[in-house]
A and B are shown apart, each in its own frame.
Chain A
C-alpha cells in the first residue's frame, strides 16, 4: 500500500499535473481542425477557392502543439531585432521591466522617506491623509493624457504612470509600519540615548521593514498590471505594445504567448519580493 503514503507535496504535484493534462485535452478538443468531414463533403477545388484547402476551417486559435512550437521558436531567439514591429520577446519584456523598475524605484525613493515622516508625526499623517485618500483610488491610466501633455515623451509618460500607481501602497504601508513600531523598542532607544539617525535606521526601519516590503510587493504587482495597459496606449516598444501589435496582426498565437510571458515575469517579480520579505521578517 505504498501509494497511499504520498506526502502533501506529492499529492498537490500530482493534482497540478492532472489539471494541466485536462486543460491541454480541452484545449486540443476545442481547437482540433475538422479536416476529415470537409474533405469528404466539399469539392477540393471549391475549398481551395475559399482559401487554403483542407486546413481552411482551422481557426487562428492555435492547438496546444502549434502553441508549443511558437513558444519554443520565440524563446530560442528572444533578442532579435528586425525593426520597430518585429523584435524578440526578450527585448520587449526588457523594455517593460526597465520602465516598471524605473517608475517603481522612483516611487520608492519618494514613498519610503515620506512614509517615514508621515508615520512619525500625527500632524503630517492627518494633514496628508485626505490627499492620499483622494489620489489613491484614481486609475493610474487616467493620468496618461496629463503625463503626455506635460512630459511630451511616451516612454517617460508610462514611467510616470508606473510611478503614480506604485506610490500609494508603499506610502501607506511605510507610514503604517513606522507608526506602529512598538513603543517599548522606542523606549529602549530613548533610554540608550540613540541619536535620531541611528534610531531611524537601526530600530524603526527594521521594525517596519516587513510592512514596508509588503507595500513594495503590492506596488510591484500593480505596476506590472499597469505597464501592459500603459504600453498598449503609448505604443512603440514593450510587452503591452507587443500584445496590441499582434492583435492587429490577428496572430492569436503570439497574443497567447505574450499573455503567458506576462504571467511568468509577474510571478518572478512577485516571488522576488516574497523572498526579500522573508529576509526582513522577524518573529516576536
Chain B
C-alpha cells in the first residue's frame, strides 16, 4: 500500500519535475495535470524529462483559472487516473507544482499507513470560517459567478451586488451541507471512489461548477457524505496573507520549515535553491516521527499580517501614513504634559525626574528653542533644538519624539507662550496625560521687571490663548486624561493632585511622595492680580486669590520643602 500524488502544475516546470521525481523515486506514483496554458513545446519537454519514470503519468489537460471549476476538474481527472492506474494506492494526496515535501516520503507513507481509513481534509462549515476573502462565505454557495474575479472585477462585484439586492438565491442540492477548507487534501481510495463514482455526481458537479472557488468547497462538502473518519486539517502547510494569497517560503525559512514537522509545504519560491536542495536530498532526512505542528510557523505569518493591517501604533513613515482617525494611536507610548507647574514650582523638572524616573523636558514647544531635558542641543533620533524645524511640522516632532524614546516615559512642560499647533493632537491622543494649573502663566509676569502696561498686554494675550487651549481640552473630542485646577485651588493643597498625577504615571507608584517641589513665593500675587483688574483686564483663570498681603497657607514656611505622611 502506498500514497499516490495528484499534482497540479502550471509554472516552474523544472521545479515540478524535481519534486515529481522525488515522489516517484520514493515509491509514490504521481499523476500530473499540466495547465493547458503551458505551451506545447514546454509541455513536451516536461513530459520527456519524466519519461524515464514508469510511475509518473500525465492526465488530460484543462485550462485552469483561479477560483473556477477548472481546478476541481483537473484534480478529478488526476485522481481518477491515479486510482485506475495504480491499484496499490490507498491514499491520494493532492499537491501543486510548488509544494515541497519537508520530511522523508517514507515517513509520510508510514504515517498514513497507520491511519488507513482517515481522510485528511480541512472541512469547516461556512459559519465557522474566519478567513474567507472578499466577505463571501455562505454566498459562495447561493449566488452565481459567471465573471472572472481576476480579470473582470467590476462585473464580478456588480453582479454579486445585483443578486444581493434582488434577493437571488440558488438552491443547494438536497443533503449537502456547505463546508469550506484548504484545497490541499489527502483522501482515502474508499472515500475518493465513493465521491467520483456516485450516481449523483453529475448533479453535484453541475452545482459546484457555478460555486465560487469550488476547489475550496467541492471535496470539503462531499466528503461529509461518504466518510465519518475525517481529520479536519490539511497535511500541507500553507499560510495565507490578509488578501488570501499564499505566503511564499524562501531559503531563510529553512529552519522554520524543519521545525514545523509538516509533511509538505507550499508555496516555495522556485529559486529557493537551498530549500529544494536541502529537503529533496536523502541525507538531510531527519526521522523525527513527530506529529505535524504548523503552530510553530503560524506566529511569524500572523505577525506579518498584523503588521500589514494594523501597523505599529504611533509610527509615521514612508509606507505607513494613516488618514486622520486611522492612526490606531496617534503616538506610540504614554506621556505627560504639565502646564503651569514649572511656573509655580522652582525646581519642578528635577523634582519630577526624581519622583517618577522619567525623562522630563522643559517647554518643548517654547518659541525660542526646544527645551530638551538637560537642555541638550540634539535629542533621541537626532531631533534638534531648532524651533524653526520643530514648527515646520509640530505633529511630526511630537510623534517622532515619542517614537524615538520607546521604553522611556516622556514628560514635558507646556503653556500659552508655546506653539499651540499641537493643541488638538495632544487633546485627542489617548496616550497623553495632561495636567493643567490654569493661570499659572501669570507668575513669571508677576516676577518680571517689565513695564506694567506691557505686562497687562502680555497677560491678556496669554489668557486668551489659554482659554482657547482649555476649550480644546474640555471638548468632547478630547480623549487624553485631562486634569485642570485653577491656580488658587492648586496652591491650597498641592500634594494631593501631585500624588494623583505621579500615581497615574505609575513608574514608582509603590510609595507615597516624601518630598514636595519648592513653590515660589506668592506674596503679593493677589495684589498683582488686583492691579491687572484695576487696569481693566480680567484675569479669571487663576481662581480666587485674596487681595492684600495675606499669603496662601502653604507659604508660611517659605523656601523649605515639607514632608507629607
| Chains A and B come from one and the same complex | no
